[in-house]
């Protein structure tokens, strides 16, 4: 039997990260639980102190219900090492499509995400290998790939 889960990404600015990743993944900002106008109202009800509240969005969800929820957890520690887990965004299409077509799709998605605040770190391509990907970092430096 499978279990429900959410991904948790530690970050300095949950609102910025939530908005970036919602746009990147086609997700939406998750609405607060029933009976609460905001997530901060919900957290206050749980007893969290005001200094722990983010004042903005900190959760996103797949509007179609297929992907996991993602919570952006505010932490004070800066990111210092490479992620041990990262997100792969599949933008290339079917492997039966020509590599040049897939490359154009990946590059277009990378350009879109750069416009949202991401940075390109590496292009992963080798002549003769039927794979093309772009390594990137989100606005807080978390690594992810587009393939």
Strand order in the sheet with 28-29: 6-11, 69-74, 59-61, 28-29
Residue 73 confidence (pLDDT): 92
- The candidate with the shortest Cα–Cα distance to 62, out of 142, 137, 6, is 6
- The pLDDT mean for the chain works out to 93
Looking at 3.30.750.24, 3.40.190.10, 3.30.910.10, 3.10.180.10, the CATH number of the domain 87-146 comes to: 3.10.180.10
Domain positions in the chain: 6-74, 87-146
State how far the Cα of 61 lies from the Cα of 28, in Å rounded to an integer.
Answer: 6
Q: 59 in helix, strand or coil?
A: strand
pTM: 0.90
State pLDDT tens for residues 19-70. Answer: 999 999 999 999 999 999 999 999 999 999 988 888 889 999 999 999 999 9
Q: Is the pLDDT of residue 131 over 90?
A: yes
pLDDT for residue 84: 86
CB 102 within 8 A of CB 146: no
pLDDT of residue 127: 86
- pLDDT higher than 90, residue 115: yes
């Amino acid at each position: 039997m499978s279990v429900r889960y959410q991904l948790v990404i530690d970050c300095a600015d949950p609102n910025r990260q939530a908005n970036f990743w919602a746009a990147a993944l086609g997700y939406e900002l998750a609405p607060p639980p029933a009976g609460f106008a905001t997530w901060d109202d919900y957290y206050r009800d749980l007893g969290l102190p005001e200094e722990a509240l983010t004042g903005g969005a900190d959760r996103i969800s797949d509007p179609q219900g297929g992907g996991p929820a993602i919570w952006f957890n505010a932490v004070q520690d800066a990111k210092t090492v490479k992620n041990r887990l990262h997100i792969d965004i599949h933008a290339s299409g079917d492997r039966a499509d020509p590599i040049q077509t897939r490359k154009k799709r990946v590059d277009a998605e990378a350009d879109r995400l750069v416009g949202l605040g991401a940075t390109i770190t590496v292009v992963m391509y080798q002549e003769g290998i039927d794979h093309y990907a772009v390594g990137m970092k989100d606005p807080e430096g978390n690594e992810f790939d587009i393939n």
